[in-house]
Amino acid sequence: MPGTEHQNPIPTPTSTLARCEQQDGSVADPSDTLLGGRRHDQVGNASGTLNIHNHLQDDGTVACPGGPDADQSSQSISRSSPDPASAIGNAQYVDHTSALSFLHRAHAKSKTSNAYDATHTERSSQPLTAAGDKPLFGPSSSGLVISPIILPTIPDAAEAKDLLDLYFEVCVATYKPLHRQTVDTWYHVVVNNIQQGLPITDNLGNAKVAVLLGVLAIATFHRQKSRGFSEDAPSLAQSDAYFKVTANLIETETGEPHLESAQARLLQVFYLLMTCRMNQAWYIFGNLLQIIAALGMHRRSRKDKLYSRSRSNYVHSQCRIRTFWSAYILDRYLGVVMGRPRHFHDKDIDQDYPDRVDDANMSPAGRIPSESDDTDECHIDGFIWNIKLAQFVGEVSDELYPIRPLPETQCISAARRLAKKLEYWQESLPALLKANPKNLIRSFRRQCVALKLAYKHAVMHIYRPFLLNRSSNRAVPSNDDNDTQLFRRDSIRLCISAAQDALRTIDALAQEGPLFHAFWWTHYMTFCALSVTYVWNMQQDNILEGIDKGALLALAGRCQVHLAQATATNSPSRRYSIILEELGGMSANQSSINTGRHKPQTQLRGAGGATSAAADEAAALALSQTFDSGGFAQGALGIEMSVQHQDPFMHWQASDWLDLDASVSATFVNETH
């Protein structure tokens, strides 16, 4: 696609890799933290794949398979293959020859990890809408009357300003459901109520106070993550306290729903996604959608007819529009991440895009003229272009990922047309959102990076279905015309190039600081780019012009370490790392089969007492070298590969990519149930 393959990657900052700082200020060894504080001594595991953290030794060395201890370690590898009929999400049954069987192995491994065992009993007794999510910290406030006595500490004016700045500029930079000056007003009313001993909802109502506390919960969580807290207690204790009061206020809200009712629930969804409580987020999101539909927020004409207030209050009108489109974006991306049907349909929507106006230039009477009207700088731009991209991603999902496979010629025609639309979107971006993020202020920098990642995801979303087509492999005879074969090869090149650019951006984010840990969408983007890279590495013909395979796999190794750290305390998102270990093992073994190369394996030794950053780099290097050498322990995986012969993904359809995307949030079932 013109304009895509030559896009400059985002420069990677030279700052050191973020450490895993513990509550006591010490630096944790990644092998102690990434898998819930558990150290592993074996080289292999039950599935025969490599766990990159298994090789971090006490003296700071990283042992690769095939080193001096390989013979002894290999004795501990289980040779048993997976059950012939294993059930994965959505009651889909696979056997050990299926490319999806690694998802079942990953699920089985996640059930035996320390993090899952520690709360297994508690999770089994959780409500249906929260099953599998980590419980909220502290005693429940459900059913209690919220008063200043049990209310978490409300920050003073200076701290509140910092938290509100963080929320509006960083936390949800490309979602703009709220008006900053309105939220500031609500804060001052709440503080005044507390000082006078009045109920905090006095002169505001439950929903508005819930919105304010939801903002504080999100910003507090981000602030704790930015300070390097990776454990649950220091990162969630205060923010969960705000969230619980928010939930109580929403549960006890009376009367008909209104705009703030929707905004409060939208913020709940944001917070739950950030803290990886996916099930609660999903069910609250469903309630939010019902309120939006009841208020007619998806319709322009209905709003004007039924709500005279919207015509007279410009701020309220714009917030209605912004809240709807924020929910729309979430609907599109949750459908991708969780593999579930989308709720909004474009044919039912005639709502306008938000006006291109900053919060400071809005008043109830209308827009306030300012000098910024004549410039290209507007904080709402990232939100507007995010809406357009979400609409595009929904269109791609409809046309290229159908449940019933379409003829390839039809898919190619659709992909070409969609690629042109995406190119137009990218070219139409405001200049500020195309700039080098390092040269922008914080609010625009976050928008720029978020949109760059979303754009790379859209490119991968278009071209992934063609990554596995056997006719694109020069080793397989093809009767297709030259134009079709050229399209397939271009698709693979564009897809891998997008994955590489996304991983470079992710690597830069992680090295800038631990705030990477707080962005749920970035976790999925990392998983998506890594899975594309590993599947491509299995192909017999995986040499692409302009792509250094060794460098790409080394980059993938580093990003897999970042993801493991980011999801170390976030269940069920920890499944990302576990699934990638299984997929990476398949990738390495199949690449070895394809190339027939078996390089001597080595042991990487570093200085004793290495920092966690050095250990991370060593782990990533070990992973990339093992990929290159095909040195993963074979075990049951070797049996699987011998059955699969040429390619374990030979029979994949486009919809199987969606199964892989949804594997983290999928409900795994047992055959005997």
For residue 604, what pLDDT band results from cuts at 50, 70 and 90? very low
How does strand 603-604 pair with strand 62-63? antiparallel
Looking at residue 303, what is its pLDDT? 47
Residue with token string 């190039």: 497
For residue 443, what pLDDT band results from cuts at 50, 70 and 90? confident
Q: What does pTM read for this prediction?
A: 0.76
- What is the CA angle 473-479-481, rounded to 5? 90
Residue 568, CB-side half-sphere exposure with 13 Å CA sphere:
32
Residue with token string 């996604």: 273
Predicted confidence (pLDDT) at residue 427 exceeds the cutoff of 50: yes
Cβ neighbours around 41 below 10 Å, total? 9
Mean pLDDT value across the chain: 73
Burial group, residue 369, by CB count within 10 angstroms (0-12, 13-18, 19+): exposed
Per-domain residue ranges for the chain?
30-126+384-661, 135-275+277-368
Predicted confidence (pLDDT) at residue 602 exceeds the cutoff of 80: no
Note whether 570 and 273 are within 8 A (CB). no
Mean pLDDT, rounded, for 649-662: 76
- Cα–Cα distance between 184 and 638 in angstroms, integer? 60
Residue with token string 């419980």: 135
DSSP state of 92: E
Three-state DSSP class for residue 86: strand
- Cα–Cα distance between 394 and 467 in angstroms, integer? 20
- Cα–Cα distance between 564 and 580 in angstroms, integer? 10
Looking at residue 537, what is its pLDDT? 85
Q: How many helices (H) and strands (E) does the chain have?
A: 24, 6
Looking at residue 517, what is its pLDDT? 64
Cβ neighbours around 482 below 10 Å, total? 8
Note whether 282 and 338 are within 8 A (CB). yes
State both tokens at 479. 């009767």
pLDDT in tens, 301-329: 554 555 544 456 999 999 999 999 999 99
Mean pLDDT, rounded, for 7-26: 38
Greatest pairwise CA separation for the chain in angstroms: 81
- What is the CA angle 408-410-412, rounded to 5? 70
Looking at residue 94, what is its pLDDT? 37
pLDDT in tens, 266-303: 999 999 999 888 889 999 999 999 999 999 999 985 54
- Cα–Cα distance between 319 and 307 in angstroms, integer? 14
Query: How much of the chain exceeds pLDDT 70, in percent?
Result: 61
Looking at residue 597, what is its pLDDT? 46
